[in-house]
């Protein structure tokens, strides 16, 4: 039986072999590709489904991006309080 509302292929929740980690890896790959191609990479935090990353801290995300040489402008304490 086909679902009435099938999940989008880019959605990582509720899909086999897709996790918050695979979503982050995909996002990181896209940002790195844009930077390598001298394109502007813009990430708007508000569009991320933060509940999908409830086991990942804001600081860990920021440190991971910084390790990949992606500049971040985050006040993690302010984000965690909202």
68 in Cβ contact with 28 (< 8 Å): yes
User: Which tens digits make up the pLDDT trace of 69-80?
Assistant: 777 665 545 555
In a domain, 15, yes or no: no
CB 72 within 8 A of CB 62: yes
Question: Does a structural domain hold residue 76?
Answer: yes
pLDDT in tens, 48-59: 555 666 666 777
Total count of domains within the chain: 1
Predicted pLDDT at 49 = 59
Digit-coded pLDDT (tens) for 6-28: 777 777 777 788 877 888 888 88
Domain that holds residue 75: 20-81
- Would residue 2 count as lying in a domain? no
Residue 13 lies in a domain: no
Predicted confidence at residue 4, as pLDDT, reads: 61
Looking at the domain assignment, is residue 25 inside a domain? yes
**Does residue 68 fall inside a structural domain?**
yes
Note whether residue 73 is domain-resident.
yes
pTM of the entire predicted model: 0.43
């Amino acid at each position: 039986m086909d679902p009435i509302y099938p999940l989008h292929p880019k959605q990582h929740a509720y899909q086999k072999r897709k996790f918050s980690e695979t979503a982050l890896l995909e996002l990181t790959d896209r940002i790195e590709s844009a930077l390598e191609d001298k394109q502007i990479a813009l990430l708007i935090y508000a569009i991320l489904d933060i509940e999908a990353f409830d086991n990942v801290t804001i600081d860990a995300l920021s440190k991971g991006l910084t390790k990949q040489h992606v500049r971040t402008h985050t006040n993690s304490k302010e984000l965690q309080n909202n």
